[in-house]
Amino acid sequence: MTLQQLLTEGKEYLRQCEITDFELDACLLLFHVFGIDRGAYFLRQQEIVSQEKEEKYRTLLAKRGKHIPLQHITGYTEFMGLDFHVNEHVLIPRQDTETIVEEVLRSCEEKRVLDMCTGSGCIAVSIAKLGKPHSVTAVDVSDKALQVAIENAKINHVPVDFIKSDLFEKCMGKFDIIVSNPPYIETKELEMLMPEVRDYEPRLALDGKADGLYFYRRIIEKAPDFLLDKGSIFFEIGYNQREDVSLLLEKQGFSQIECKKDLAGLDRMVSAVWKKGI
């Protein structure tokens, strides 16, 4: 069987399993198994493949056919042009989250940055790698998530201080910037998510409790104790949470509340500034 024939089989299999991006996913799994990229595929598509690789590919296709996320199968994803290790203990970094990272990168030079609910570490590591912050601290409540985040800091060769803590419980010191993409999906919405997310991504990273705002409330309540004067807070939000999160920030005494949209034109980030004595 040639590489091209194997790919055709893979596409057909994933189409039958009703995988949305069946063509792309069949390609990416093939590239993963053969350690090739698109260019190498076109040069080698008529090559006969070994029995062993053929079987390996079919094993991975069967997993994807069960709606296991592609990134869990390959173990990697790309975010901000960087490589990140992922597994079932962390949320897979989303392209939408690049919106908040790009915004923080504009103002993080020489700043002390705290990433609350770091998960895979994608936000903290990207800021440490692509910006010039004074320091980056990253917090998560899950040991297993922190293991992944620590590995991601290593893979990308950046220094990040990791703290296992239930939100600010074990945090110390003051920061110029707090950034967070907390769990923000309403509990009742979880069952409506696509199977890849609903069945395979960690509930802990998704569930924002009854109204989806639980973590914003808890973070906003304590953030002033951990922010320097004129420090900023940046939140990723769900498309319908701009008003609610802005109101929580306003009530707590934050000013300069702003919203940014993602590439799809949906509200995706709210930021605000903390000023003492106002």
What gap in Å lies between CA 72 and CA 82, rounded to an integer?
A: 17
Q: Which stretch binds ligand GLN (CB under 6 A): 11-19, 67-75, 175-183, 246-254?
A: 175-183
Least gap, CB of 49 to ligand GLN (angstroms):
35
CB crowding 72-102: b at 16 or more within 10 Å, else e: bbbeebebbebebbbbebbbbbeebbbbbbe
Compose the 94-123 pattern: x for residues touching ligand GLN by CB under 6 A, - for all others: ---x-------------------xxxx-xx
Q: Is 182 in the site for ligand GLN (CB under 6 A)?
A: yes
Residue 13 CB neighbour total at 10 angstroms: 17
Least gap, CB of 206 to ligand GLN (angstroms):
7
What gap in Å lies between CA 245 and CA 256, rounded to an integer?
A: 13
Q: Is 183 in the site for ligand GLN (CB under 6 A)?
A: yes
Q: Counting beta carbons within 10 angstroms of the beta carbon of residue 135, is it exposed (0 to 12), middle (13 to 18) or buried (19 or more)?
A: middle
Q: Is 130 in the site for ligand GLN (CB under 6 A)?
A: no
Q: Which stretch binds ligand GLN (CB under 6 A): 20-28, 47-55, 160-168, 181-189?
A: 181-189
The residue (of 3 and 117) whose beta carbon lies closer to ligand GLN is: 117
Asked if 119 and 98 touch (Cβ cutoff 8 Å), the reply is no
Least gap, CB of 75 to ligand GLN (angstroms):
16
Q: Which of 166, 164, 180, 173 is nearest to 248 (CA)?
A: 180
The residue (of 42 and 239) whose beta carbon lies closer to ligand GLN is: 239
Q: Which residue is nearest to ligand GLN (CB)?
A: 119
* Region 231-260 residues binding ligand GLN, contact defined as CB under 6 A: none
Least gap, CB of 138 to ligand GLN (angstroms):
9
Asked if 135 and 113 touch (Cβ cutoff 8 Å), the reply is yes
Q: Is 93 in the site for ligand GLN (CB under 6 A)?
A: yes
* Region 72-91 residues binding ligand GLN, contact defined as CB under 6 A: 91
The 3-state secondary structure of 109-140 reads: CCCEEEEECCCCCHHHHHHHHHCCCCEEEEEE
Residue 24 CB neighbour total at 10 angstroms: 13
What gap in Å lies between CA 93 and CA 78, rounded to an integer?
A: 8
Q: Is 153 in the site for ligand GLN (CB under 6 A)?
A: no
Least gap, CB of 140 to ligand GLN (angstroms):
8
What gap in Å lies between CA 107 and CA 98, rounded to an integer?
A: 15
Least gap, CB of 213 to ligand GLN (angstroms):
14
The residue (of 119 and 133) whose beta carbon lies closer to ligand GLN is: 119
Q: What is the binding site for ligand GLN (CB under 6 A)? A: 91, 93, 97, 117-120, 122-123, 181-183, 205
